[in-house]
Amino acid sequence: MDFCVGEKVVYPNQGISVVEAITKRGVPSGESDCVYELRVLSNDSRVFVSHKRVVDVGLRPVVKATEVRRIFDLLGNGLVEPQGNWKGRFKENSDKMRTGSLLEVAAVLKGLTFLSKKKSLSFREKFMLERARFLIVSEIAEVEGKPSTAIQERVDRALSKTVRPGGNGGNGGDKGEKRARAAIAE
């Protein structure tokens, strides 16, 4: 995957970044490699990603406007994956966050929001919930060119369809959620 200077990309778990420079650097084996210098917009930090590691790291372009509808469909479809014990749930959610896929981040947001309505989340899960919310809202706001507050309201409305009293309550099961995600991804 190739990016250009000035292009906006998404670095997993950090959010939207701008490619500031592309440089060639020597590596110990004597070869040279292109390196992307990224500036993370949310905190102005710098990240360097080797061209060879772009896929492994999960660096990707910002989602297209057509994909935004899929995100809102997933958030509001009423199906919630059953949540296991804390340790397993946290590992699974962490793995989803690291993929960089906005659909996976949306699944984490929905699952943790649903769970937070049933019981108190741990400190680490609260942090992950807020991180997922930030990543969803900031990327969609960038794609649609709208203020974050407007996108936050849309996300909350979509989530309310899933977490409302008398809603699914997670009865869609693991297979139902995966089917819904597969249908949305098509």
pLDDT one-digit tens code per residue, 151-165: 999 999 999 988 765
Q: Could you give all domains of the chain from N- to C-terminal order, each with its CATH number?
A: 8-61 (2.40.10.170), 65-185 (1.20.58.1290)
Shortest CA distance to 177 belongs to which of 85, 103, 95? Answer: 103
30 vs 129: CA distance, rounded Å: 43
Query: What mean pLDDT value characterizes the chain?
Result: 86
Q: What is the pLDDT of residue 104?
A: 95
Could you give the angle at the alpha carbon of 129 between the alpha carbons of 151 and 65, nearest 5°? 35
Q: Please, what sign has the CA dihedral across residues 91, 94, 96, 98?
A: negative
Q: What is the pLDDT of residue 178?
A: 53
Instruction: Name the one residue in this structure whose structure tokens are 């057509």.
Output: 66
Q: What is the pLDDT of residue 100?
A: 85
Q: Name the pTM for this structure.
A: 0.82
DSSP summary character for residue 5: T
Mean pLDDT to the nearest integer, 15-35:
86
Q: Does the pLDDT of residue 67 top 70, yes or no?
A: yes
pLDDT one-digit tens code per residue, 113-137: 999 998 899 999 999 999 999 999 9
Q: Which two tokens stand for residue 126?
A: 């609260």
